[in-house]
Amino acid sequence: MEQKRTEIAHLGEFGLIERIKNSFSLANDSSHHGIGDDAAVINIGQENLLISTDMLIEGPHFDLSYVPLQHLGYKAVAVNVSDIAAMNGIPQQIVVSLGLSNRFSLEAVDALYEGIKAACKNYKVDLVGGDTTSSPTGLVISITVIGRSEKPKTVLRSGAKVNDIICVTGDLGAAFMGLQVLEREKQVFKSNPEMQPDLEKYEYIIGRQLKPEARMDIIFDLAEKNVVPTSMIDISDGLASELFHLAKNSNTGIKIFEEKVPVDTMTYETAIEFKIDPITAALNGGEDYELLFTINPSDFEKIKNHADIHFIGHMHDNPKQHVMISKQGTVVPLQAQGWKHF
């Protein structure tokens, strides 16, 4: 009898993670929180140790025809640091593992590590180890980051309460639109190598794609104001998808307002140029690595004047109802259409 075969795409990334999570249990008292958040939480006494890992694979995650190796090294660290930020923690160490094909020279590896070194300096983290191996095809980068947080201040995805205010940092959709520009210029170059890419006017959004920043500045600002978010996540797969994660883990519903979702002027104009609805880019684009978090309404006064924190809605008591109020005042069901890994 032929054994049944189920494609991974049938479950998708989050279904696969949930399947793995449900087949394991935590046996050690020190394992405070395992699979299912931005980082694992390990009890080490006075503090929590935070551990997260991320893998970037040439092809699905980056294209070296337009991604400089220095930028790639920087981004690989930044996206991991962002996971520690999303737990309200401080990153301290990283280990870096590389899979290299024979088309990579020593100079190329040096360039990659120049970017890694720049990010380590910026985020004050130490490179303390790793592994290198051969890869049969392209470049593979896997980074594990280790951070710490005070126990009462460690923030999970599961702490949001009804009426908590939904906050987001920076602006959204820029990285996605930057990617659209880079892909378009690549196709133009392939059809006519004499054509030089016209990227100058898109500098901001291309920068958001090639060299994103983890929002550690926000973590320090919140600490200064004595604000501990009730739940938090970083925006890697798109605002809508991340909202769904917070709502599912916290067993709450979502209500956001389209007019409150922050979109940069360049992102907006480029989306129109590409015939993409700007709010669609903001909701589903991904790779912005901004922070999405909820706060108790009593903390609003402390951060209401922060120039880079936007208040876009609130959590409510119906966990099956996730909606956006459009600029016209109509109620639109939210859908998570972000990046699909399988």
Judgement on whether residues 269 and 184 belong to the same structural domain of the protein: yes
pLDDT tens digits, one per residue of 97-113? 999 998 899 999 999 99
Tell how strand 40-43 and strand 31-33 pair up.
Answer: antiparallel
Judgement on whether residues 144 and 178 belong to the same structural domain of the protein: no
Q: Does residue 1 lie within any of the structural domains?
A: no
Q: Does residue 158 lie within any of the structural domains?
A: no
Structure confidence at residue 90 (pLDDT): 98
Judgement on whether residues 123 and 178 belong to the same structural domain of the protein: no
One-character DSSP codes across 17-85 = HHHHHHT----STTEEE-TTSSSEEEE-SSEEEEEEEEEEEBTTTB-TTTS-HHHHHHHHHHHHHHHHH
Q: Does residue 221 lie within any of the structural domains?
A: yes
Query: Are the CB atoms for 129 and 163 separated by under 8 Å?
Result: no
Judgement on whether residues 142 and 194 belong to the same structural domain of the protein: no
Judgement on whether residues 110 and 210 belong to the same structural domain of the protein: no
Domain stops at, among 153, 188, 214? 153
pLDDT tens digits, one per residue of 23-60? 676 667 766 766 677 899 999 988 999 999 999 999 88
pLDDT tens digits, one per residue of 163-212? 999 999 999 999 999 999 999 999 888 787 777 777 889 999 999 999 99
pTM of the predicted model as reported, rounded to 2 decimal places = 0.92
Judgement on whether residues 187 and 304 belong to the same structural domain of the protein: yes
Structure confidence at residue 336 (pLDDT): 75
Q: Report helix, strand or coil for 125.
A: coil
Judgement on whether residues 68 and 24 belong to the same structural domain of the protein: yes
Look at residue 338 and tell me whether its pLDDT is greater than 60: no
Structure confidence at residue 194 (pLDDT): 72
Q: Does residue 273 lie within any of the structural domains?
A: yes
Domain stops at, among 153, 185, 218? 153
Backbone angle region of 168, left / alpha / beta, with phi > 0 → left and psi within -120 to 50 → alpha: beta
Number of domains forming the structure of the chain: 2
Judgement on whether residues 169 and 149 belong to the same structural domain of the protein: no
Q: Which CATH number covers residue 285?
A: 3.90.650.10
Structure confidence at residue 25 (pLDDT): 65
Q: Does residue 339 lie within any of the structural domains?
A: no
Q: Which residue has the tokens 């890992």?
A: 53
Judgement on whether residues 116 and 223 belong to the same structural domain of the protein: no
Q: Which CATH number covers residue 46?
A: 3.30.1330.10
Query: Are the CB atoms for 304 and 209 separated by under 8 Å?
Result: no
Q: Does residue 272 lie within any of the structural domains?
A: yes
Distance, CA of 176 to chain centre: 12
Domain span at residue 200 reads 165-333
Domain stops at, among 101, 120, 153? 153
Judgement on whether residues 143 and 192 belong to the same structural domain of the protein: no
Tell how strand 126-134 and strand 90-100 pair up.
Answer: parallel
Q: What percent of the chain has pLDDT over 90?
A: 79
Structure confidence at residue 3 (pLDDT): 72
Judgement on whether residues 239 and 296 belong to the same structural domain of the protein: yes
Structure confidence at residue 342 (pLDDT): 36
Mean pLDDT for the stretch of residues 215-225: 98
Structure confidence at residue 29 (pLDDT): 74
Alpha carbons 335 and 284: distance in angstroms, whole number: 9
Structure confidence at residue 269 (pLDDT): 97
Angle between the 174-191 and 203-210 helix axes, to the nearest 10 degrees?
A: 100
Look at residue 12 and tell me whether its pLDDT is greater than 80: no
Look at residue 339 and tell me whether its pLDDT is greater than 60: no
Q: Does residue 3 lie within any of the structural domains?
A: no
Query: What are the structure tokens assigned to 11, written together?
Result: 């479950």
Look at residue 2 and tell me whether its pLDDT is greater than 80: no
pLDDT tens digits, one per residue of 52-84? 999 999 988 999 999 999 999 999 999 999 999
Where helices occur in 57-212 by DSSP H, the ranges are 69-85, 106-123, 174-191, 203-210
Q: Does residue 21 lie within any of the structural domains?
A: yes
Judgement on whether residues 86 and 13 belong to the same structural domain of the protein: yes
Mean pLDDT for the stretch of residues 311-337: 94
